[in-house]
Amino acid sequence: MEIIRVTGKNKLEGEVQLQGSKNSALPILAAAVSVNGISVIHNCPSLTDVDAAIKILEHIGCHVSRQNSTVVIDSTDVDRCDIPQHLMHEMRSSIVFLGPLLSRFGSACVSTPGGCEIGLRPIDLHLSSMRKMGAVITEDSGVLNCSCNGRLQGSKIVLSFPSVGATENIMIAAATAKGTTVLINAAREPEIRDLAVYLNNCGAKIKGAGEGTVVIEGVKQLHSVEHSVIPDRIIASTFMAAAAVTGGKVLIKGVVPSHITPVISTFEEAGCRVDTGASRLYICAPKKLNRVKTIRTMPYPGFPTDSQAIVMSMLCLAKGTSVIVENIFENRYRHVHELRKLGAKIDVEGKIAIVEGVDTFKAAHVCAPDLRGGAALVVAGLAADGLTEIENIKLIDRGCQDIEKLLRSLGADIVRVNAV
């Protein structure tokens, strides 16, 4: 079993290059199924979730090759429309293969997906949207059998919540559906826009991606393309927090600052100096961090739920009491129990967490509860007195590429070791 060992209190200094966005890469890899040809995807991060997506692509008959951060998918010969349960269970975003399979084959057989245990995470919006586009879906012991009469049919779809995954599924499915789809209350995350750029470069006709209403005029076929994935805004916030809790100064290269506007404001409110330029962000932390006013996680452009745990680690060390309201997932405070082992003072009531700042973290043995919760523990370990050990780091590897190597390059005393 691999664990991360971090001895805290080293000031982080230096520069770091941001990885490609996991949440952009995954739907783009799924969308490659709809393409009759070759997709060359650059800046694709090396993560276990990406490995899981590639396993699905290979299972259905794509030829996939990978060199450094470039993944090449030849989907000319795809010949299966089923995804076995063990592959679906590796990550939640496997459900985003439903739209592409339906649009390519007119049928799909998938099971309900897996993923981090951060809440119920139903897929009702994905299923009702596919039904609206003409799919007939039956469920039998967790297996979903889906089919449509020939091609999916463009439709007017109103989402009751701007689900990121459902928006992606609909956009991919509608790209080659018959007629026009109008999607209302779509998610507006930068990853949605990135997916639309990829699909449009394949010949799709998508307008308004990144806005509340997206109009997708179906085309008969999508063709080969080359695309570069946008940088990972959540990893950017992870490095910002790492700099902040160690009183450090870090330059993050490759970032799109406008993708993390509310996160930048939060760090500024906590007393950090943040300078941004085209594709770069410099953060300089104060000696002592300040509390911040209430943080409410919201769909984009609000404060991202994926940065909540990471920023909470930082607020644990601020002067005064901060309040966080988690509005997106109902079980996204599992890191609190672990942060308390490090001496954090946090009360949780329902979706509200009250974080009372303490002087320092004390090293402890902790366990990553989920991907971002695990990253939050790494951040906390960087600021703790003594040696912190973090286990269950396979969850961190789902979304963070080379986290310990990059932090070490900034001066952190951190290693990955095999523990017996």
Residues with a known catalytic role: 116
Closest CA to 237 of 219, 252, 217: 252
CB of 236 to ligand UD1, least distance (A): 14
**Shortest Å distance, C-beta 185 to ligand UD1:** 12
Task: Choose which of 104, 121, 188, 259 interacts with ligand UD1 (CB under 6 A).
Answer: 121
CA distance 245 to 380: 8
DSSP 190: H
Min separation Cβ 358 and ligand UD1, Å: 27
Interface with ligand UD1 by CB under 6 A: which range of 121-129, 140-148, 202-210, 212-220? 121-129
Reading the block at residue 68, the tokens are 């450094």
Q: Which is nearer to ligand UD1, 3 or 95 (CB)?
A: 95
Number of residues that bind ligand UD1 (CB under 6 A): 23
Minimum separation from the CB atom of position 271 to ligand UD1 (A)? 27
- Find out whether 8 and 361 touch, Cβ atoms under 8 Å: yes
Task: Give whichever of 12 and 187 is closer to ligand UD1, judged by the CB atom.
Answer: 187
Distances (CA, A) of 311 to 133, 208, 275, 291, 380: 40, 31, 18, 11, 10
Tell me whether residue 25 or residue 316 sits nearer to ligand UD1 (CB atom).
Answer: 25
Q: What is the three-class DSSP state of 109? A: strand
> Is residue 124 close enough to count as binding ligand UD1 by CB under 6 A?
yes
Neighbours of 156 (CB within 10 A): 10
- Euclidean distance between CA atoms 123 and 134, whole angstroms: 17
Interface with ligand UD1 includes 93 (CB under 6 A)?
Answer: yes
Phi then psi for residue 311, to 5 deg, are -70, -30
Residue from the set 43, 69, 246, 305 that interacts with ligand UD1 by CB under 6 A: 305
Shortest spacing between CB 93 and ligand UD1, in angstroms: 4
Task: Quote the tokens at residue 30.
Answer: 């799924």
- Return the number of the residue (56 or 363) whose C-beta is nearest ligand UD1: 56
Q: Are 113 and 92 in contact (CB under 8 A)?
A: yes
CB 10 within 8 A of CB 246: yes
Q: Contacts with ligand UD1 in 182-221 (CB under 6 A)?
A: 187, 191
Stretch that binds ligand UD1, among 114-122, 266-274, 307-315, 361-369 (CB under 6 A): 114-122
Least CB distance to ligand UD1 at residue 191 (A): 6
134 vs 399: CA distance, rounded Å = 34
Cβ nearer to ligand UD1, comparing 249 with 398? 398
Residue nearer to ligand UD1 on the CB measure, 211 or 275: 211
Which residue reads 């590897």 in tokens? Answer: 397
d(CA 85, CA 356): 43
Contact code string over 155-184 relative to ligand UD1, x by CB under 6 A: ------x-xxxx------------------
Coil, helix or strand for 268? helix
Q: Site for ligand UD1 (CB under 6 A): which residue of 103, 111, 126, 218?
A: 126
Largest CA distance in the chain: 64
- Binding to ligand UD1, residues 248-277 (CB under 6 A): none
User: From CA 98, how far away is CA 25, in angstroms rounded?
Assistant: 16
Rule CB under 6 A: which of 3-62 touch ligand UD1?
23, 26
Q: What are φ and ψ of residue 320, in 5° steps?
A: 105, -175
Stretch that binds ligand UD1, among 122-130, 221-229, 255-263, 408-416 (CB under 6 A): 122-130
Among 37, 119, 301, 302, binds ligand UD1 (CB under 6 A): 119
Among candidate residues 325, 327, 310, 290, the one with its CA nearest the CA of residue 233: 310
The whole-angstrom separation of Cα 196 and Cα 206 is 6
Which x/- pattern over 329-348 shows residues binding ligand UD1 (rule: CB under 6 A)? x-------------------
Query: Which of residues 75 and 93 has its CB atom nearest to ligand UD1 in the complex?
Result: 93
| Binding flag, residue 233, ligand UD1 (CB under 6 A) | no
Complete DSSP assignment for 287-324: SSPBP-SPEEB-STTSB-GGGHHHHHHHHTTSBSEEEE
351-410 residues near ligand UD1, rule: CB under 6 A: none
Distance CA 395, CA 338 (A): 15
Q: Which is nearer to ligand UD1, 163 or 313 (CB)?
A: 163
Q: Which residues bind ligand UD1 (CB under 6 A)?
A: 23, 26, 92-93, 119-126, 161, 163-166, 187, 191, 305-306, 328-329
